[in-house]
Amino acid sequence: MAQRMEELGRNSTLSEQIGKLFSDSFTVIQEPGDPVVAANAEDASALAGFTVRLPANRADAPTLTVQGSAAFEFTVDRDRAQAILNDAGLGETQLPASLDGAPIAVSVPASVSAAYGGCPDPNAAPDEEGDTPIDNLTRNQIYNFLTMAGLYAINFLTIVMSALISADTLAGEIGSGTMQSLVTKPIRRVDVVLGKWLGFAGLLALYLLLMIGGVLTIVFALSSYSPPNIARGAPIVYLESLLVMTITLACSSAFSTLATGGIVFGLYGLAFIGGFVEQIGAVLKNQVAVNIGIISSLILPSESLLRRASYEMTSPLAQSFGFNAGPLIVVSIPSPAMIVYAALYLLTALAFAIRQFSRRDL
């Protein structure tokens, strides 16, 4: 951290924010209080608790400022601290596993600054140019935000494609008479549904691979930045597209193409708006609004999956404060249990599609 200890000591809010980067447990033991201007070295010594000596070759009296001591403690989350070092471009520094859970007590002693004549404020930031770890962190947050914005657009395109490719696959072929010629052959109806589902699943996987790979390649080529945890976030986006495609297939087995499209996009719009309501409720601490968002997520968990994927691919620095770095800041982070719920939802929709198509009079 490019931060002087005396600055850390006098600013308890900053101390707490820095402590939260490494642990959820942070306790301020002693507040430093406001700086005090001392009239002379003797008064400064009495306030600071140690002897203050001034240069003997100066005849003019300096301005002496005494900052009281401070203390705070926290425990270390090794994975979180290592991820922050990686984000700052210091990945070559590997923290030992024994550091995880280690108690850290920081004591910031009293400090005395002496300013002669037009001497600049000793607490002012240096004028040196060049990148620091803080500069790298800030830049990476911007890159992460822009990358998530691109992936957000890709997610919307994938949802639209998931609905369009499967809305007409059963209803359209039944209406045109094509399906009658297929099912009269020795092919079970369940095989028709599963074959179409697997084909669409492969198509969506290829589409997402090309789109996400293209965005990440462009970002890396221009900035040498790669968002964290792509291997965890991208499969959640894929699960969301499979969920929408499966629901569309299930509706197509029972309704016309037009009705299927209306139902699917209506459900998606409901989930999208419900997600907004949930975030607003979380900010305003309105439990009714949060509950409305949760209910909409249970009706169709597409928006919850998107927010979870965005959170997984967010920088650990933003995660430590409970945010994600998507186009819209997410205050209420969906639980990992929502992924399990979405998978069960998908299997239920697929079973409904098979059952409905098997019983439908062609």
Same domain, 98 and 212: no
Token pair of 199 as six digits: 């084909």
Same domain, 323 and 287: yes
Task: For residues 56-78, give the mean pLDDT.
Answer: 75
Range of 110's domain? 5-129
Residue 300 in this model has a pLDDT that exceeds 90: yes
> When comparing pLDDT for 141 and 88, which is higher?
141
> When comparing pLDDT for 361 and 197, which is higher?
197
Averaged pLDDT of the chain: 79
Same domain, 111 and 28: yes
Last residue of a domain, one of 75, 98, 129: 129
Last residue of a domain, one of 69, 98, 129: 129
Burial class for 111, CB neighbours closer than 10 Å (0-12, 13-18, 19+): buried
Last residue of a domain, one of 129, 146, 162: 129
Residue 188 in this model has a pLDDT that exceeds 80: yes
- Residue 200's pLDDT band (boundaries 50, 70, 90)? very high
Total number of domains in the chain: 2
Residue 9 in this model has a pLDDT that exceeds 50: no
Same domain, 154 and 187: yes
Token pair of 280 as six digits: 């607003």
Residue 223 in this model has a pLDDT that exceeds 80: yes
Q: What pLDDT digit, counting tens, does each position of 107-158 carry?
A: 767 777 777 665 555 555 545 444 555 566 778 778 888 888 899 999 999 9
Confidence (pLDDT) at 238:
96
Residue 246 in this model has a pLDDT that exceeds 90: yes
> When comparing pLDDT for 321 and 219, which is higher?
219
- Residue 25's pLDDT band (boundaries 50, 70, 90)? low
Task: For residues 89-93, give the mean pLDDT.
Answer: 72
* CB of 304 closer than 8 Å to CB of 275: yes
Alpha-carbon separation of residue 193 from 169, 200, 246, 323, 350 (angstroms): 10, 11, 10, 40, 9
The arrangement of strands across the sheet holding 36-38 comes to: 36-38, 63-67, 111-115
Residue 102 in this model has a pLDDT that exceeds 90: no
For the ranges 73-77, 218-222, 315-319, the maximum mean pLDDT occurs at 218-222
* CB of 163 closer than 8 Å to CB of 263: no
- Residue 4's pLDDT band (boundaries 50, 70, 90)? very low
Residue 171 in this model has a pLDDT that exceeds 70: yes
Same domain, 29 and 66: yes
Confidence (pLDDT) at 338:
92
Q: Quick check: pTM over 0.75?
A: no
